[in-house]
């Protein structure tokens, strides 16, 4: 994203300053002259640091262009050789995955891939409440004693020194496929395939674990082909697995640039064909129009349901849904996950209300804790508090028996929270933990919380300037209600898929007449807008806003002129397609 254009304006109802992304006028002009793209596409691309020479690949991302040689990753050959040895000698393989969407998709991907090879494997997903994140010694002892010859960890394992050492001592090899930051020391595994290990030089650091798992599948397929394995067997259809890869990539909020962009673009095409029985059932259950599938559905509709099992229910449900070919099994898993997601929403709402009461907005960080909170929702609550206060946020669920807390952390741009958690561990104010620049998790004793707050407050104040704490909403340009057409929306969609690293374009609508509002289901608000000059009408929606700050603002400003910040969405109802504004923020017109 280009630097923001400085604008003097007042804060919105949500306390944000609105700033417009700066468009590189030279690039925009060159795009217009060279390729005759519509002006709005030229401006959007020119605000997103897209090199002129790569625009065509940005607009049409393909695996053929972006997929590198998988053996560029360190330890890939060692890992592939051990996997092939297990396959050709009929050794028992168990995939050990995380309980989030990236872990579930990575695990399901490998199950489906090995099935294509004619190999049935087992999988293990730890229970969030009982076992916590990542490999644990008891689980690895169980797997080794149950006859597993090879454990493949996905989305975890980089820092699992003790469990991996125990497995090795018991004669079980471990291949780690992960993307979490590590240290200069590696566990005693056969291979650590992780683009974020400290000695790695590959350009794939932005991949989710499911993307790296796909790279492993590509490498195994290439090696087996060279060995003649497929002379009398069908070659795996790796493209058919991209729906799972896309789902995990979007839900882990990694940057949708380069290879990730190709994964998601191609994965959406695969998903529209619904070859995965579990995803197909869930899509039908949720009444999603296959022709309108987008990263939004991955991140905000399908993903939360896959996550629900790991958050508050049975951790294996997501993997079962994504990997099973049994109609009854996938139906049961989908129904359970949908029900658990509703339960999760209630837990999340009560926890958020409770946590918000503890917040001291004057501190440089937000730290809240309670023995009454469920571990499965604290990550979501941390994200919502971070969005509200625009500060690094830590939400801790304390076990009332052991007095040990499990924490989820969410950050703001400019503060690497994963690195900060490692520093906290080095200073002995937490037990263990890790994460990414924008999110992380850790454990600590209840007695360490005060020391943690002191350490992290000092650390944040030393590395983050006051400017970073100013809540901002960036928008891409100005639109009028007169400009709202389906063709405009379709033009904008050309630079999708949207997500982290390529955010959905936001637009500012100034001085629109809020003609009428309708409250729906005592939760959502539907706004009927009118252009004060032309009289052009449009509709805008905001969900779960009734009796909130922005909801109260809209009610109060009915019949008045307001400014709206929002995105554009197609709405299909009874074969009629309309364009609506999804409101993200609002303020009174000047």
Q: What is the pLDDT of residues 310-343, one digit of tens each?
A: 999 999 999 999 999 999 999 999 999 999 999 9
User: What is the domain class of 359-469 according to CATH?
Assistant: alpha beta
pLDDT, average across residues 230-257: 96
pLDDT, average across residues 46-54: 85
Residue 3 has pLDDT above 50, yes or no: no
Q: What is the pLDDT of residue 445?
A: 98
pLDDT, average across residues 133-138: 94
Residue 199 CA to residue 205 CA, distance in Å, equals 12
Give a three-class secondary structure readout of 429-485: CCCEEEECCCEEEEEEEHHHHHHHHHHHHHHHHHHCCHHHHCCEEEECEECCHHHCC
The secondary structure of the chain in percent helix, strand, coil, rounded to multiples of 5, reads 45, 20, 35
Residue 8 has pLDDT above 60, yes or no: no
pLDDT in tens, 86-97: 999 999 999 999
pLDDT in tens, 76-119: 999 999 999 999 999 999 999 999 999 999 999 999 999 999 99
Q: What is the pLDDT of residue 290?
A: 85
Domain boundaries, the chain: 10-21+476-588, 66-338, 359-469
pLDDT in tens, 512-564: 999 999 999 999 999 999 999 999 999 999 999 999 999 999 999 999 999 99
Q: What is the CA radius of gyration of the chain?
A: 25
Q: How many CB atoms sit inside 10 A of residue 140's CB?
A: 27
Per DSSP, 394 falls in state E
User: What is the domain class of 10-21+476-588 according to CATH?
Assistant: mainly beta
- Return the biggest CA–CA distance within the chain: 77
pLDDT in tens, 478-511: 999 999 999 889 889 989 999 988 999 999 999 9
pTM: 0.90
Residue 1 has pLDDT above 60, yes or no: no
> Do the bridges between strand 439-445 and strand 472-475 make them parallel or antiparallel, or are there none, so unpaired?
unpaired
Q: What is the pLDDT of residue 71?
A: 98
pLDDT, average across residues 282-294: 91
Give a three-class secondary structure readout of 104-134: HHHHHHHHHHHHHCCCCCEEECCCCCCCCCC
Q: List the CATH code of the domain at 66-338.
A: 3.90.1640.30
Residue 226 has pLDDT above 50, yes or no: yes
pLDDT in tens, 161-212: 999 999 999 999 999 999 998 889 999 999 999 999 999 999 999 999 999 9
Q: What is the pLDDT of residue 44?
A: 92
Residue 42 CA to residue 129 CA, distance in Å, equals 49
Tokens encoding 338: 């949908």
pLDDT in tens, 341-361: 999 999 999 999 999 999 998
Residue 167 and residue 151 in contact, taking contact as beta carbons nearer than 8 Å: yes
Per DSSP, 361 falls in state T
Q: What is the pLDDT of residue 574?
A: 66
**Residues in Cβ contact with 387 at an 8 Å cutoff, skipping those fewer than 6 apart:** none
Given the structure tokens 């990236």, which residue do they identify?
A: 102
Q: For residue 269, how many C-alpha atoms fall within 13 Å in the half-sphere facing its CB?
A: 11
């Amino acid at each position: 994203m280009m630097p923001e254009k400085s604008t003097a304006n007042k804060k919105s109802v949500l306390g944000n300053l609105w700033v417009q992304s700066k468009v590189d006028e030279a690039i925009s002009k060159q795009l217009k002259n060279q390729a005759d793209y519509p002006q709005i596409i030229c401006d959007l691309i020119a605000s997103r640091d897209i090199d002129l020479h790569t625009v065509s690949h940005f607009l049409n991302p393909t695996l053929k262009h972006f997929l590198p040689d998988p053996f560029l990753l360190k330890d890939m050959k060692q890992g592939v050789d051990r996997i092939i040895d297990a396959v050709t000698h009929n050794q028992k393989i168990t995939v050990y995955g995380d309980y989030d969407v990236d872990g579930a998709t990575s695990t399901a991907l490998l199950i489906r891939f090995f099935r294509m090879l004619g190999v049935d494997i087992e999988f293990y997903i730890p229970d969030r409440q009982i076992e916590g994140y990542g490999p644990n010694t008891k689980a690895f002892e169980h797997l080794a004693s149950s006859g597993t010859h090879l454990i493949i960890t996905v989305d975890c394992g980089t820092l699992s020194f003790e469990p991996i050492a125990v497995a090795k001592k018991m004669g079980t090899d471990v291949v780690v496929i992960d993307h979490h930051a590590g240290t200069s020391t590696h566990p005693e595994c056969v291979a650590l395939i992780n683009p974020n290990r400290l000695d790695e030089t590959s350009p794939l650091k932005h991949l989710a674990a499911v993307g790296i798992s796909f790279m492993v599948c590509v490498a195994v397929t290439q090696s087996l082909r060279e060995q003649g394995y497929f002379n009398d067997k069908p070659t795996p259809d790796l493209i058919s697995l991209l729906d799972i890869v896309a789902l995990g990539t979007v839900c882990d909020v990694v940057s949708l640039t380069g290879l990730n962009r190709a994964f998601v673009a191609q994965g959406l095409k695969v998903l529209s064909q619904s070859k995965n029985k579990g995803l197909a059932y869930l899509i039908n259950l949720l009444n999603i129009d296959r022709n309108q599938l987008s990263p939004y559905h991955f991140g905000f509709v399908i993903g939360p349901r896959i996550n629900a099992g790991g958050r508050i229910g049975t951790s294996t449900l997501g993997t079962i849904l994504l990997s099973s070919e049994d109609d009854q099994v996938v139906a049961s898993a989908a129904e359970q996950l949908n029900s658990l997601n509703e339960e999760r929403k209630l837990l999340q709402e009560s926890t958020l209300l409770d946590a918000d009461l503890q917040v001291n907005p004057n501190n440089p960080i937000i730290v809240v804790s309670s023995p009454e909170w469920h571990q499965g929702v604290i990550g979501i609550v941390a994200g919502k508090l971070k969005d509200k206060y625009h500060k690094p946020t830590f939400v801790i669920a304390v076990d009332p028996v052991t007095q040990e807390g499990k924490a989820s952390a969410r950050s703001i741009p400019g503060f690497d929270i994963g690195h900060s958690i490692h520093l906290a561990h080095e200073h002995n104010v937490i037990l263990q933990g890790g994460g990414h620049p924008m999110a992380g998790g850790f454990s600590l004793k209840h007695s360490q919380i005060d020391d943690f707050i002191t350490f992290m407050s000092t650390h944040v104040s030393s590395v983050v300037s006051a400017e970073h704490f100013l809540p901002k909403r960036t928008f891409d340009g100005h639109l009028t209600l007169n400009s709202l057409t389906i063709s405009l929306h379709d033009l904008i969609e050309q630079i999708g898929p949207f997500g982290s690293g390529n955010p959905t374009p936001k637009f500012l609508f100034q001085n629109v007449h809020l003609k009428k509002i309708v409250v729906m289901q005592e939760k959502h608000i539907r706004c009927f807008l009118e252009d004060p000059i032309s009289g052009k009408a449009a509709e805008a929606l905001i969900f779960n806003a009734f009796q909130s700050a922005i909801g109260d603002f809209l009610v109060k400003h009915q019949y008045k002129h307001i400014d709206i910040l929002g995105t554009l969405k197609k709405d299909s109802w009874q074969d009629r397609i309309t364009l609506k504004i999804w409101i993200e923020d609002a303020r009174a017109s000047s």
